[in-house]
Amino acid sequence: ELTVNNIPESPEMPDGPDTVYVFSAPVSNFVVTEIHEASEYIWNLTPDAGIISPSAFQCEIEWTVTEETQAELQVMTENQCGQSAWSPVKEILLIPDYMPGFEENADVDFLVFPNPSQGEITIQFKNSVNENREITLFDAFGRKVYEESVNSFVKTYFISNLSKGMYVLQVRHDNRKQALRVVIR
């Protein structure tokens, strides 16, 4: 028996947010209507503003921008007979909103790794002297979710109980406050 397949149809414009406040919503989902003849969906994001995790006619994007960006998302379908044309462009305005009162420091006295994290982070201070420091972790709404005094050079935290998203890690020491964004996947 001979089966004839057509080249799959071109998907419609991806459905998802038009504007994303990256700090508050570091991950966005986009979807198109499923195309019956399609065996694969190929997603394209320009400029390179995030990490795409495709799943057939849906994709999740983890945003990586640090400045306001106009991104464009398209998708095409494919099967053994060929590829469709690209879908219409979905324009997405990416705004790296930071929590009021928190400014990320460009030059901090500590390292946080891995970042993004799967639920475990290590803080390593550049000054190897064991001095007392206040560690505070805030969620995207500015709520304190963890606080501890430490006096070690390296400290590992298990934070898998926290929701996925963006956090601010603040270190207070000698009347100085330093902050870095931390992403939990």
Backbone Cα Rg of the chain: 21
Q: Tell me, what's the pLDDT at 128? A: 67
Complete domains list, the chain, with CATH: 19-95 (2.60.40), 110-184 (2.60.40.3080)
Q: State how far the Cα of 89 lies from the Cα of 95, in Å rounded to an integer.
A: 19
159-176: b (≥16 Cβ within 10 Å) or e:
beebeebbbbbbbebeee
Q: State how far the Cα of 170 lies from the Cα of 181, in Å rounded to an integer.
A: 9
Instruction: Give tens-digit pLDDT for 119-173.
Output: 899 999 887 667 789 999 988 767 889 999 988 888 898 888 888 877 888 898 8
Q: Is 116 exposed, middle or buried (0-12, 13-18, 19+ CB in 10 A)?
A: middle
Strand 144-150 and strand 133-138: the pairing is antiparallel
In Å, what is the CA distance from 162 to each residue of 34, 144, 166?
33, 12, 10
The answer for residues whose C-beta is within 8 angstroms of residue 135's C-beta and 6 or more apart is: 123, 146, 147, 148, 149, 150, 155, 169, 170, 171
pTM (two decimals): 0.57
Share above pLDDT 70 across residues of the chain, in percent, rounded to a whole number: 91
pLDDT tens, position by position, for the chain (185 residues)? 766 678 999 999 999 999 988 877 789 999 999 999 999 999 999 999 999 999 999 999 999 887 889 999 999 999 999 999 999 999 999 987 665 555 566 678 888 999 888 889 999 988 766 778 999 998 876 788 999 998 888 889 888 888 887 788 889 888 888 888 888 87
The answer for residues whose C-beta is within 8 angstroms of residue 140's C-beta and 6 or more apart is: 23, 24, 99, 165, 166, 167
Of 100, 24, 107, the residue nearest 63 (C-alpha): 24
Amino acid identity, position 68: E
Alpha helix positions (H), the chain: none
Q: State how far the Cα of 26 lies from the Cα of 14, in Å rounded to an integer.
A: 18
